Amino acid sequence: MKVSPDVYLLDDPPPPPMPRNWQTWRPGHRPPRWAVEVVSDNWSKDYEDGPAKYALLGCAELVLFDPDAVLGVVRNQARAPLSVFRRGADGALAAVYSGPGPAYSEQIGCWLWARREGYLARLRLSEDEEGQRMIPTRIEAEAARAREAEAARAREAEKRAEAEKRVRELEERLRRMERDR
């Protein structure tokens, strides 16, 4: 059985070379704790076979992310933007959520959001259920750092201008004092 998650979380990476698919029978190879499958054109395979495959693999939590459902290009009731499956006591992955989101992931400790951003479907992570504390993407984090650096430069320039103004005021005061002597 071939299992190749699109995104996964490993507690311990396998020894090199990194396999293209899971080989948990090999020494040092363990299943992912958390996996995301982006639903493909063959969506029924992902919805119907995915949970059983990941259960056999030993994955603790599986997320199905369906971009077409996010974008509203499908009307099939069996499809949802987000589906979350968790391992039960019997070892099977049971559906614990299916809908537009947000959905909580126990394995990564955050909320999953299926969002439409322009013409793209995105799976986003948030520290809160309301989505007020989204975990930034690399691009968003870089932009935030650039904004903070620019704000720091502006604060420094303002402090420098204030200091220069104070120096000019003190110089003027000194000149007046020397004139008045």
What residue ranges do the domains of the chain occupy? 7-135, 136-181
Distance, in Å, from the CA atom of 151 to the CA atom of 159, rounded to the nearest integer, reads 12
CB atoms within 10 A of CB 93: 22
Point out the least confidently predicted range of 8-22, 93-107, 110-124: 8-22
Whole-angstrom Cα distance, residue 180 to residue 64? 83
CA distance linking residue 10 with residue 54, whole number of Å? 14
Query: What is the pLDDT, as a whole number, of residue 97?
Result: 96
Determine the average pLDDT of the residues in 57-61. 93
**Is the sign of the CA dihedral 148, 154, 156, 158 positive or negative?**
negative
Rounded mean pLDDT of 110-118?
A: 94
Average pLDDT, the chain: 89
d(CA 21, CA 57): 11
Candidate ranges 41-45, 97-101, 146-150; pick with highest mean pLDDT: 97-101
Within 8-134, residue ranges assigned H as helices are 43-57, 67-71
Q: Specify the range with the lowest mean pLDDT, choosing from 10-19, 80-89, 94-103.
A: 10-19
| Side-chain-facing half-sphere of 128: CA atoms under 13 Å | 4
